[in-house]
Amino acid sequence: MELNKTLGQALKRARLAAGQTQEDFSPISSRTYISALERGLQSPTLEKLDELCEQLGIHPVTLIAASYLIKNRMAVEELKLTLDQELMGLGF
């Protein structure tokens, strides 16, 4: 599955879990832009992703991780193990 689509699905899921509407993002972005993101028609910049996640009250990495969980159909524990190993390999 295309990453824009899975990021959009993750964004919509996070928005609904937060009890927010697309209109709630109006201080940051238009409803049509949020809709386009959720449908995978647009991809946000890192700055925009940070703003969207701040509105949702989640870390941007959480939204990116959720999109990869959807894309790769993997379990959270599997992704956490991969991240732990790769970050340790980078010296973190």
Right CATH number for 3-89 from 1.10.260.40, 1.10.1280.10, 1.10.10.410, 2.40.30.10?
Answer: 1.10.260.40
Locate the domains of the chain by residue range. Answer: 3-89
Mean pLDDT of 33-51: 97
Specify the pLDDT at position 53: 98
Specify the pLDDT at position 1: 67
Measure Cα distances from 79 to 9, 27, 56, 69 in Å. 18, 33, 22, 7
**DSSP letter for each residue of 22-54:** GGGGTTTS-HHHHHHHHTTS----HHHHHHHHH
pLDDT grade for 66, boundaries at 50, 70 and 90: very high
What share of the chain in percent tops pLDDT 70?
99
